Amino acid sequence: MNVNLFNDKKLMNALGLAFVTLLLVLSSLFSPVAHAAGGGGPAGGTAEPVTEEFNPVLTDEKPEVADIEANNMPNRIAATFNGDTTGEMGFNWYTTDLFEDSKVWVSKSGNFDDTLEFEAEAAEVTSHYGERDMNGYYIFADVEEDEEGEPVTDENGDPMINGYYTDEQAHGGDWMYGREYGQLDLIDVQEYSYKAHATGLEPNTTYYYQVGSESGEISETGQFKTSGEDGDPFKFVHYTDTQNAFWNENVRNEAAFGADTLMRALETAGDADFVLHTGDVVEIAEIEDEWVDIFERSRPYFMSAAMAVAPGNHDEYALNWADEPFTEKFNEHFNVPVTNDAVDGGSYYSFDYNGVHFVTLNTNDNKESEDNPNEGAIGEEQMDWIREDIDEARANGAEWVVLNYHKPLYSKSYHSLQDDDVQEIREELTALIDELDVDLALQGHDHVISRTHSLTHVPSDENFSNGVVEEVETFVGDNGVKYIDDPEGTTYILPNTGGTKEYDDVYSKGVEHLHEVRPELDWMTQEDMDYYNSLFAYGNQPQDTDAFEDSHANNRDSDVQNFAVYEMEGDELIVSMYQIEGELLEGEERTVHLVDQFGIVKDSE
């Protein structure tokens, strides 16, 4: 290979793609299509529900369907932990056509004059794209419905179509919520998902990388950092539930908020070593447009640090909810370990970083099987693995253990106490977490912000929540941070959402409100609610909205997002949760401020 020509080609590709990326970001901020949606409140987080009815003008003829253009510039790129983080890294990307010479190039200098090359393996995948017109708008069919709201079919069993429309007309709260869109047909496209694995790297080193092929295109330059010695300081950012929905891509783009949240998290952290995402990367896994949207809008930030990603329930969802889930989609997009050959809406795995043991769980195990007859969020094989994995990590000297997973055990919204699959494993998992002395449990799924006190386990016959606040000493450090002193319990953290979907903080509004909006929780008394709220050191619904006064609705109009920054060094941890406010798509100034902070010190004496 001619190094000079090779690097010149990379430079040209990098400059060209950097310009494209800039255009994508600018278009997300100033797109007239995005502005047409409205739906956001003023700065400060006020979100007024939009109730304007959506009545599209229908056409008899279906708009001409645009072809899915080939994209052979490496795209949907991510660098993820896979193996020993002191010397290994996984990579994933896509192209439309197959390039058999695809690889990742890794360099310490960034000039690629010291390049290490690693071959990529390509897997042919079927991606499903929504039909669009020639202007990029989604095409929907308005289906005839009977009095019960069920589709009316013709003699062939096909739905009767009243006409067609596109989301160029779409607007209003009901549309943004997802209640208004009609039938969307999908186009199957054969693409290639590439996985490469870099090995033999040096510890505690920043590396630069590019992916692609010499016979095709080469990406711009990304970077990551390998881990170092046990106890060395490091920092990571945590965000969750970016969950961008295809029907809002041209209305109020949610992927733009996800990208902005990560950008501001990395800016605030300053020198984060990696990014942790606790699931629901997209809304509907089957719709490849959503993966493309979040990856491309977040591209500069996904490529600025290594990632650790937990699978969320939406990361396996089909367009039609009754259809079988797309259990392979998460692993098609992220090159993460697959433990026990278990790909089931994601996978579970662990890694160590500077002596801290991170355990990523897969809470999508909830399909009936021999391993999981009661359809719990975590099956028996995974539960056994959790014990074995953490026992081994402790035996190897891990002082800290951090769980990251999607479906919460403790949160300020309804999922944590309502969902059957979580309740099925609640007592067993909280007991196991307590027994294994897990320090932090990082969660997603419920789009509210919360942090518990240090909790220890109690059995269900003693307490419905399986948690009790640990009596532990606290002190304020010289830095002004309040520390928990050598706790034995676990702190459960959930930093709201990186997207626009907002939930109700149902446990802070009285038992009558709870019973009205979540009748499945009508067993709870006010005493139960008061006890459950006492488990939390911090928590609320970050959005100032009246959308939840009389009902629980998963509005998607929030202009408030949150993230957390974790700073770890030896026996000390500081967790800082931040809030972002401001209507991104209306050009308002976006502000970031600290809303909660605490620390943990081990063996402070």
Q: Is residue 285 in some structural domain?
A: yes
Q: Is residue 48 in some structural domain?
A: no
Q: Which amino acid is at 205?
A: T
The verdict on 107 and 244 lying in the same domain is no
pLDDT digits (tens, 9 = 90+) for 1-21: 333 333 343 333 443 434 334
Task: Tell me the pTM.
Answer: 0.91
The verdict on 379 and 256 lying in the same domain is yes
| CATH number for the domain that contains residue 75 | 2.60.40.380
Give the count of domains, the chain. Answer: 3
Q: Is residue 246 in some structural domain?
A: yes
The answer to whether 88 touches 198, Cβ cutoff 8 Å, is: yes
> Domain of 174?
132-184
Residue 24 has pLDDT above 80, yes or no: no
The verdict on 197 and 305 lying in the same domain is no
The verdict on 435 and 531 lying in the same domain is yes
Q: Three-class SS of residue 386?
A: helix
Mean pLDDT of 402-418: 97
The verdict on 241 and 218 lying in the same domain is no
The verdict on 460 and 406 lying in the same domain is yes
Residue 295 has pLDDT above 60, yes or no: yes
Q: Is residue 534 in some structural domain?
A: yes
Ramachandran angles phi, psi of 339, nearest 5°: -80, 140
The verdict on 234 and 88 lying in the same domain is no
The verdict on 112 and 139 lying in the same domain is no
The verdict on 323 and 426 lying in the same domain is yes
Rounded distance between C-alpha atoms, residue 292 and residue 326, angstroms: 17
Averaged pLDDT of the chain: 91
Q: Is residue 207 in some structural domain?
A: yes
Rounded distance between C-alpha atoms, residue 468 and residue 555, angstroms: 32
Q: What percent of the chain has pLDDT over 90?
A: 85
How far is CA 276 from its chain centroid? 9
Q: Is residue 51 in some structural domain?
A: no
Q: What's the confidence (pLDDT) of residue 555?
A: 85
The verdict on 104 and 238 lying in the same domain is no
Lowest mean pLDDT among 264-278, 331-345, 384-398, 533-547: 533-547
DSSP string, 74-88: -EEEEEE--S-TTT-
Q: Is residue 555 in some structural domain?
A: yes
The verdict on 176 and 293 lying in the same domain is no
Residue 433: half-sphere exposure toward Cβ, Cα within 13 Å: 30
pLDDT digits (tens, 9 = 90+) for 525-566: 999 999 999 999 999 999 888 888 877 667 899 999 999 999
Q: What's the confidence (pLDDT) of residue 545?
A: 82
The answer to whether 403 touches 430, Cβ cutoff 8 Å, is: no
Residue 216 has pLDDT above 60, yes or no: yes
| CATH number for the domain that contains residue 266 | 3.60.21.10
The verdict on 423 and 511 lying in the same domain is yes
Q: Is residue 33 in some structural domain?
A: no
The dihedral over CA atoms of 384, 386, 392, 398, expressed in degrees to the nearest 10, equals: -160
Q: Which amino acid is at 284?
A: I
**What is the enclosing helix (H) or strand (E) of 529?**
helix 526-534
